[in-house]
Each structure stands twice: as structure tokens, then as C-alpha cells.
Amino acid sequence: MKEILRDIGAIARALDSISNIEFKELDLTKGQYLYVIRICENPGIIQEKVAELLKVDRTTASRAIQKLVIKGFVDKRFDAHNKKNKHLFPTEKSLALYPLLKREGDYSNERALDGFSDEEIDCIHHLLERVRHNIEIDWDYVKKGQQRHY
Amino acid sequence: MKEILRDIGAIARALDSISNIEFKELDLTKGQYLYVIRICENPGIIQEKVAELLKVDRTTASRAIQKLVIKGFVDKRFDAHNKKNKHLFPTEKSLALYPLLKREGDYSNERALDGFSDEEIDCIHHLLERVRHNIEIDWDYVKKGQQRHY
DNA sequence: CGTTTTTTGTTGCAAATACAACAAAAATTT
DNA sequence: AAATTTTTGTTGTATTTGCAACAAAAAACG
């Protein structure tokens, strides 16, 4: 059987490692850049959805965002009509940072796809979307405490 | 530009999360399954190479393997001709566990590729290998303290 | 309308992760 | 052969990560 998961894991760890090193000087510690980018691109989003986008635990997102609020990267606003949801907004500080974060991500993407034709880029893009969708199903299932049978 | 890194990150986190939950009952804490599998498949490998395969920091691998030795999953043997290298071997305990770990990985792979034709599987496999190779270059570069320009 | 379930969020732990800084052996260069 | 660089490995310290366990609001259900 053709194995793709190990490559995906290694690629993801390598890229995360690179970004963490590069963003250290921006006062963003491990993983925080992920949240800043998502909140900049989805102002008003709630924590639960951020965790779902990133596929991290709800508690991890909770604490990461707490830190970002303290550091002044994120604003947490309460909904007038809903006492439970807390909407997240980027501050001026993150908005100013966003272009740099985006450029780094784009650069990594270009580097990752170095030597790929337009057709190949299209192809891997679509295939990965399908993998993501497939895996989301199992993630939701296992995260809810269900057992997979293998 | 077509963005593939976010999907790769999300897929990797989701899969890692699933495996960690499923392997908890085997007394393997977060991430340890990765090391056990690699050492079972590459008996005699040294730590530095494990870190390189997985794309984790050398210090992370060092401590993870320390724990695995204490727990009886890994044997560390010294080389008679080389005082620096420490060769890693699976114990009976890990070898007994290996088939289960492998089966889980294979199952996740199947789930990830659900609905894919043989051609599509081949395609994503080759394209990911190329991405991995591309990213390895930058990983080595940045990990050695060099600056990327973006 | 009242009860049950789901959603959203937080803390208490326990543990992994990784940058700095260091050390020593091995390999390379001069 | 001696000096330098690279490889391999470890600890100190700071931080993230996430399962349990909990809470409260909101939504679904009878």
C-alpha cells in the first residue's frame, strides 16, 4: 500500500518548525502564528471554530488565545445577544503583522511546490482537500470519544 | 496562488491527535508512537537520524527516547568502534506492539485515501515525496541558523 | 414549558516540545 | 600531526499541548 501519512507528518512538522523559528522575533511563540492568521482572516470567529479549522484541542485554543489577548494580538468581545460565544478580533498590532505572516506562508508554499507545473499544483491541491475532508470525519468521530475499528 | 500548506498542517494535526488518543491505552504518551515505529523499522538507527526522519528537534528526540528506554520500549546500545553514536533497538515489548501500530497507521492511510483511484493514490504519493524533498532543504537551512528571504 | 442534549469555554494536571548552551567524539582540513 | 569544523548527544529553562473534569449558556426535544 502507498503510504502518504508519514510524508504529510514530516512536511507539517518541518514547516511548523521553520515558521516558529522565523516568527520568534515577532514575539510569537510556538504555534501562535496559526491563531493570529486565522483570526485576521476571520474577524469575529469564535474559539471553537478556530480549534476546528486548525484541528487542535479546544483547550489548547483556549489557552493560546488567552496568551494572545494578554500580549495584545487579539481582542475578545462578548456578544450582546449570546452570553456564551466570545468573538475574536485582530488588534492593530496583528493587522500590522499580518502581511508579513502571509508573505512567509506564501513563500513556504512556493518553496514546497518548487518545480511543480500548474497542473501538478492543481492536482495536489484538490487531492489534499479530499484527504482533509476524509480525515475530518475520523477526527470528529474519535474526538467525540468513539472507537475506530482497525 | 493555490495554498496547500494549511491542509497539510490540519491533516497532520488531526491524524496525530487520533493516533495519540488511540495509543494512550498502550502506555504511549503524545508522539511516542512515532519513535517506536521508526525504531522497530530501523533497528540500530541513531537518534540524530530519527530526528531527521521525523523532522523534530534533536533535543526532543533525545528526551522522547530517554522516556522510551525507561518504559522498556527501546534499548540503547553503545558502539564498540564509536563512542559517540548510540544505536537504538526495539525491545520485545515494542516488537509485540508494532503490528498494532502498523495496522492503525495503515487504517488511517486507507481512511485518508477513501474514494481515491489507484492513479490518484499514485499521483498524490509522488507529489508529496517531492514536496517533502523541497521542504527538507529549507528545514535544514533554517535549522542551521540561516535566514530565508521572503 | 420543562427536561435533556449539545455547544462553548475554562482550569487542574501531566507531559511533550524546542531554543540555548554546553560537551565530547569524530571527521575534515591545513 | 595539529587545528578546525561537523556530528551527535545531553541538560536548563520556558513554553505549548491536551485529556479530565467541570460549568453554564443555548438549542433540541418531549
Q: Which of A12, A28, A16 is closest to A98 using CA atoms?
A: A28
Give the per-residue pLDDT at A129: 96
Contact A112 B134 (CB under 8 A): yes
Instruction: Give residue B81's pLDDT.
Output: 87
Q: What is the pLDDT of residues B108-125, one digit of tens each?
A: 999 999 999 999 999 999
A6-37 tens-digit pLDDT: 999 999 999 999 999 999 999 999 999 999 99
Please report, rounded to whole angstroms, the spatial distance between the CA atom of protein residue B83 and the C1' atom of nucleotide C24: 10
Mutate to test the interface with A, among B23, B131, B139 (most CBs of A within 10 A): B131
Residue ranges of the domains in chain B?
4-112, 115-150
Supply the pLDDT for residue A54: 97
Reply yes or no on whether the pLDDT at A1 is more than 90.
no
Does any CB of chain A come closer than 8 Å to the CB of residue B24?
no
Q: List, as ranges, residues 84-143 from B with C-beta within 8 Å of A.
A: 103-116, 120-125, 127-132, 134-139, 142-143
pLDDT tens digits, A94-133: 999 999 999 999 999 999 999 999 999 999 999 999 999 9
The pLDDT of residue B116 is: 97
Report the residue of A40, A101, A127 to disrupt the B interface, i.e. the one with the largest count of B CBs within 10 Å: A127
Residue A80 binned pLDDT confidence (cut-offs 50, 70, 90): confident
What pLDDT sits at residue B1?
81
Q: Which segments of chain B have a pLDDT < 50?
A: none
What is the rounded average pLDDT of the residues A129-144?
95
B46: its cell numbers: 541513531
Average pLDDT score over residue span A56-70: 97
Minimal CA separation from A67 to chain B, in Å: 21
| Domain A4-112, CATH among 3.50.50.60, 3.40.50.1000, 3.30.70.1230, 1.10.10.10 | 1.10.10.10
Separation CA A48–CA A57 (nearest Å):
9
pLDDT at B80: 82
Which residue from B122, B125, B134 is facing A111, i.e. has the nearest CB? B134
- Report yes or no: A41 at the B interface, CB cutoff 8 Å: no
Tell me the chain A residues in contact with residue B12 when contact means C-beta distances shorter than 8 Å.
8-9, 11-13
Is the Cα torsion angle A95, A96, A97, A98 positive or negative in sign? positive
Check whether A79 has a pLDDT greater than 90.
Answer: no
Say how far B136 CA is from D8 C1', in Å.
20
Q: What is the pTM of this model?
A: 0.95
Question: How long is the CA A70 to C1' D8 vector, in angstroms?
Answer: 40
Q: Does A126 contact strand D, using a CB cutoff of 7 Å?
A: no
Q: Strand C closer than 7 Å to the CB of B13?
A: no
Which band of pLDDT confidence, cut at 50, 70 and 90, is reported for residue A64?
very high
CB-based contact (8 Å) between A26 and chain B?
no
Give φ, ψ of A57 to 5 degrees.
-65, 150
| 3-class secondary structure per residue, chain B | CCCCHHHHHHHHHHHHHHHHHHHHHHCCCCCHHHHHHHHHHCCCEEHHHHHHHHCCCHHHHHHHHHHHHHCCCEEEEECCCCCCCEEEEECHHHHHHHHHHHHHHHHHHHHHCCCCCHHHHHHHHHHHHHHHHHHHHHHHHHHCCCCCCC
- B63 Cβ within 7 A of any nucleic strand C atom: yes
Determine contact: A55 vs chain B, CB below 8 A. yes
CA angle, B50 then A6 then A114, to 5°: 100
